Amino acid sequence: MSIQICLVSEQAAANLLPALDPDLKPQKIFLLVTGKMRSRSEALNKVLREAGVPSETVMLSDEHDYEKLRNEILELAGCLGGEPDVCLNLTGGTKLMALAAQSIGDEAEWRMFYVDADTDELVWLTDPSSRQKLRQQLRLPHYLGGYGFTTGRRSSSPSGGPDSQDLIRTLVTQLGSLTQPLSQLNWIAQRAAEGRRTRETLTDRQRADCGLGSLLRSFEDAGLLSVQGDQLVFKDEAAIDFVKGGWLEHHVFSMVASLSTELGIRDKAANLEVIDPAGVKNELDVAFLAGNRLHVIECKTARMDQSQGSSPKDTKANDTLFKLSEICRRVGGSASRPMLVSYRPLSEAELQLARALHIETICAGEIAGLETRIRAWVDPTGRSSKLADEVSLPRLSHAERAEGADE
């Protein structure tokens, strides 16, 4: 029987990739788990069962006690003494877990490997220069399932009319002059959405606003709405969503799609609904996998400088940044990468908060350079440099550098 032994940590990809790969898929998997990673192992077990791979959890009593770890892994080795095909995946766990497991693996003569999730390659530790390309490429349901989330509604592209590209180009290239009228139109569309109606009355001031009138003609040319006297009539509910911010999601997703082949992006989705074990739903504007890491982009066209609490510093932007950081960590682990694309600028304090939370930001006029920024963010060249560095590492360092080594 072919068996894989995995060290469970915060990162799910490194355990799922070899477990589901056609060339490496085992007949059974043992998950070595500490108490704090119990929920992660339960999520992995669910994904593995759905993929037809039986799995068993082996609880480790104290991840800080090297001798206890060795003895507990040694006990597992004793149970597997008659199995000729045992592989040990040293990619996850804590440093002590990896070191203890490697020492037992040496004694038991298990084959041992490390997964480079950035490049979809497996490194056999008996020969670190030998790299095996993994054929399994994780899709969003499996990846998110590894963190306990299921996927619900999703779209292959945000909705938009057939003539929306010219409109989006106008909105992006004329950003400075359109900020104020777009804010008014956002407010009108939001009011229509909240009232579940497709018709809103324009005030005399709005009808006299030349900037708003010009913007409405652009949306009218795209077939999304029409002005009938003092009435602003939206084509349908989908048009309302597009007008009040969906156009930016459409632009961002289209850019991601155009870079998919170049950057190795796969299983991208717009408006992806993710559901946690308690049934709580969240929506990700744009989500995709690249380098087996989840990338999440939040798109905002509305103002975010209003105060959300008693302090002027408690802005909607700060709230958005904290929520984006938290949902990314929960659905994709610490290796996930969040980005905020905002039609409006952020203050220096808000930009500092974004940097502290490791959130990439593209604001206001920077949207014109979205393609270049996304390419640099995903950064395949940087991953290639990392790969070259790791090939020369001594054998023990692979275990010490295990992804998620500090859980």
Element (H, E) at 49: helix 38-50
246: closest CA among 335, 324, 157, 166? Answer: 157
In terms of C-beta density within 10 A (0-12 exposed, 13-18 middle, 19 or more buried), how is residue 187 classed? Answer: middle
pLDDT band for 67, please (50, 70, 90 cuts).
very high
Give pLDDT, residue 291: 83
Q: State the helix-helix crossing angle for 247-258 and 370-378, rounded to 10 degrees.
A: 60
Give pLDDT, residue 116: 86
Asked if the model's pLDDT at residue 399 lies above 90, the reply is no
pLDDT, one tens digit per residue, over 355-391 is 999 999 999 999 999 999 999 999 756 443 343 343 3
Give pLDDT, residue 307: 55
Give pLDDT, residue 44: 94
Give pLDDT, residue 86: 95
Which residue has better confidence, 277 or 399? 277
**Tokens (6 digits) for 137:** 């490429």
pLDDT, one tens digit per residue, over 321-353 is 999 999 999 999 888 999 999 999 999 999 999
- Where do the domains of the chain lie, and which CATH numbers do they carry? 2-136+387-400 (3.40.50.10770), 164-240 (1.10.10.680), 243-379 (3.40.1350.10)
Mean pLDDT of the chain: 87
DSSP string, 382-403: HHHHHHHHHHTS-HHHHHHT-T
Element (H, E) at 213: helix 210-221
The CA distance from 158 to 226, in Å, is 21
Helix (H, G, I), strand (E, B) or coil at 322: helix
Which residue has better confidence, 154 or 38? 38
Which residue has better confidence, 405 or 169? 169
